[in-house]
Amino acid sequence: MLFSASADKPAPELLNAVNDAGNTPLHWAALNGHLHSVKFLIQSGADVTIINRAGHDAVFEAEINDKKEVVDWLLGAVEELESGIGQTGEAAGDADEDMDEGDKGTSQEGIEAVEDVRKQMEEMKTGDSASRDG
């Protein structure tokens, strides 16, 4: 079951679960071009920084499989999330306007997801954490 019983939110341990090849649900949705699923997973808190055993993240998997629409959306979504941190008022609202009405999550969830990604990226840059096997 992908959803927690308490809040109809995806269970984090399943959302970012990896198979033997290190692929997550986001990897599979991206490499197969399932944009709606990619959007849902990202908005639910899927970790875009997970690298599979081949050394690929979900964006790269979409790119090598010619899923341009998914690549474009993922790159735009990550950029919007990063630029939206700390914004208030009109500037934060402008970032939301670029997303479809069905694409919007709560602001707090988005901020928390981006903060998690930033922390993970900082750990990767500083070498404080071991590299992932998948």
Place of tokens 């950029």: 79
Q: Specify the pLDDT at position 14.
A: 87
Tokens of 73: 């959306």
Are residues 92 and 99 in contact, defined by beta-carbon separation less than 8 angstroms? no
Nearest-angstrom CA–CA distance, 57 and 48: 7
Could you tell me the residue ranges of all domains in the chain? 12-125
Q: With beta carbons less than 8 A apart as the criterion, state whether 5 and 12 touch.
A: no
Share of the chain above pLDDT 70, in %: 51
Listed residue (41, 33, 57) closest to 9, CA to CA: 41
* pLDDT tens column, 27-84: 999 999 999 999 999 989 899 999 999 999 999 999 999 999 999 999 988 776 666 5
In CATH terms, the fold of domain 12-125 is 1.25.40
Structure tokens belonging to residue 38: 């990619």
